Structure 1
Amino acid sequence: MTTAYRPRRSVLYMPASNERALEKAKTLPVDGLIFDLEDAVGPQEKEAARENARAAAACGDYGYREVTIRVNGTGTQWHEADLEAACAAGPDGIVVPKVGSADEVRGLVAAMEAHGAPEHTRLWAMVETPDAVLDARAVATASGRLAVLVLGTNDLVTELQARFVPGRGPLLAALSSVVLAARAAGVAVLDGVYNDVRDLEGLAAECRQGRDLGFDGKTLIHPGQIGPCHEAFTPSAEEVEEARGLLAAWEAGAGRGVVTYEGRMVENLHVEVAQRVLATDEAVRSRS
């Protein structure tokens, strides 16, 4: 199963129990939305949130924004009803927390098919445990229906008995391992959330770090975090100009053994990077 490239620079969690938030999301300049039935929703609100998410995902009013629903995890009392409702709504994706193995992925995909999920509804698997990190490649390659790995960094820090520190040193090995698995499998990968919604400087630094590590984008918990996230994950004007110049030099030198651009040797791998920069820039511009 393949899909066209789409930006996932910013993917915002929205509590599905909050109807005003779901309505506001239609106006936010965010690439993706996760209507949350899990952590952001109390037990007494689960059923109402499920109906809100189903109706919102099915309404078709979110434009270019990628719409997903995060269900409660496998084994919880709400999981089956959540999954059935999400499949019926037919969002772009169904986000499942704490996916720990390839077998779980296959079981989730089988359940999605049994519930009649349309073909365009993909599985987004959250990587939140040591087991999931260690088996990330198996998870990512278990089904062609899986489109995205999502880091659950809060849960991962807890399970590692690590600490939240600037620079995320305790998490770097895990973050890189999951990016490696995603790239090997050819699926997208999203960084975890930044918890302090007031600290935009810290958020910006973490977004830049995520981009440098190879993430496609970042999950967010507040609309105010969208701007710094987009700044980090959107190619700059200088990067776009350089990519165009490099590709022009490559095309002009077709057939020659060596091509240089501004004194630097150009190889196929540089061409691929430049093409990706321009594809991202084009996709982003088409939304403005």
Structure 2
Amino acid sequence: MSQAVRPYRSVLYIPGSKERALEKAMGLAADAIIFDLEDAVAIDEKANARSLLARVLTEWDFGPRARIVRVNGLDTDWGQADVATFATAIAAGAKVDAILVPKVNGPADLDAVAALVPGVALWAMMETAEGMLNAAAIAAHPRLEGMVMGTNDLAKELGSRFRPDRLAMQAGLGLCLLAAKAQGRIVIDGVFNAFKDDEGLAVECEQGRDMGFDGKTLIHPAQLEVANRAFAPSEAEIALAERQIAAFEEAERAGQGVAVVDGRIVENLHIVTAKATLAKASAIAAFG
């Protein structure tokens, strides 16, 4: 499935050290999986997780799900070995769609990993104040495919408090959204920590969707259904898109440049959005 149409409604973190969790992930309704070697893995498990994950991604079938490996930073005791291991594994046939680089502060952080892992897309964790301020330059990196908001780390660095409206996050979220959209990159919203609070998750998913995020990172499989529903076009949105396209085509045949649907003007820019809605719905249906 091409990156242009692949859905990213739900992007689930899975610890690279937990073989049982990795096995279960093959059957989960996640659009993408971040196989985590960083925060989710204890220090004394780092080496074992690296080896296990390299084997799993070589031998196991995760179907159409995007497979993203989050390595440790190159400035840590484990980052160099993570990157070297997966450079070798990918060259030998491991199925990895992207390497996710943590705490990206600027393009140089991506350059360092790109030089060590040729031929695979890079994603950037956007989780520092410096990274927010350099979002445009990061998004323009030629190897970058996607950006992931690390809102927990950003909140820690800012010293901000949790609010349901995420007021403290809005500047950083907005900068990264603008940067990603300007370059045509995928951009995924941060996690919602209260994994048993479906109502709160739904509110935050809807906020992220309405802002323009492509999907949401998740910390528990119980969150998948809510995210998948929120970031998918609704039946009403699909029906409206179809009616807009039909009305506009009829207007064009009549020599007019605009149509009217439900009392609202429909111009070519609305048709671009309508077609994108239908393409996303089609990709989700094909994803299964």
Question: TM-score of the superposition, structure 1-length normalised?
Answer: 0.94
1:64 Cα shift?
A: 0.6
1:107-150, Cα deviation, whole Å (9 max, x unpaired): 2212212xxxxx3x21010010011001101001022x210010
Aligned to 2:130: 131
1:80-127, Cα deviation, whole Å (9 max, x unpaired): 1101122233300111110110122222212212xxxxx3x2101001
Mark the CA change 1:80 to 1:16 in structure 2 (over 3 Å): closer, same or farther: same
Match of 1:222 among 217, 220, 238: 220
Structure 2 residue matching 1:150: 3-state secondary structure: strand
Note if contact 2:148-2:187 (Cα within 8 Å) is conserved in structure 1.
yes
Identity %: 47
Aligned to 2:19: 19
Whether 1:151 aligns to 2:156 is no
Whether 1:112 aligns to 2:110 is no
* Whole-angstrom CA distance in 1 between matches of 2:268 and 2:257: 12
* Whole-angstrom CA distance in 2 between matches of 1:258 and 1:196: 46
Aligned residues: 280
1:67-90, Cα deviation, whole Å (9 max, x unpaired): 111100121111111011222333
- More displaced, 259-268 or 4-13? 259-268
Note if contact 1:57-1:68 (Cα within 8 Å) is conserved in structure 2.
no
Structure 2 residue matching 1:218: 3-state secondary structure: strand
* Whole-angstrom CA distance in 2 between matches of 1:269 and 1:51: 49
1:258 Cα shift?
A: 2.6
Aligned to 2:167: 169
Q: CA RMSD in A?
A: 1.2
Q: Which amino acid aligns with 2:79?
A: H
1:161 Cα shift?
A: 1.0
Q: Which amino acid aligns with 2:227?
A: C
1:237-288, Cα deviation, whole Å (9 max, x unpaired): 0000000110111112224133222221111211111011101100001122
Aligned to 2:80: 80
The 5 A counterparts of 1:248-267 are 248-254=246-252, 255-267=255-267
* Whole-angstrom CA distance in 2 between matches of 1:280 and 1:56: 30
Moved over 4 A (4+): none
* Whole-angstrom CA distance in 1 between matches of 2:200 and 2:173: 18
Whether 1:95 aligns to 2:105 is no
* Whole-angstrom CA distance in 1 between matches of 2:4 and 2:234: 23
* Whole-angstrom CA distance in 2 between matches of 1:12 and 1:21: 11
Aligned to 1:10: 10
Match of 1:193 among 169, 191, 195: 191
Question: TM-score of the superposition, structure 2-length normalised?
Answer: 0.94
1:137-175, Cα deviation, whole Å (9 max, x unpaired): 1001022x2100100000000111111121111111111
* Whole-angstrom CA distance in 2 between matches of 1:123 and 1:60: 22
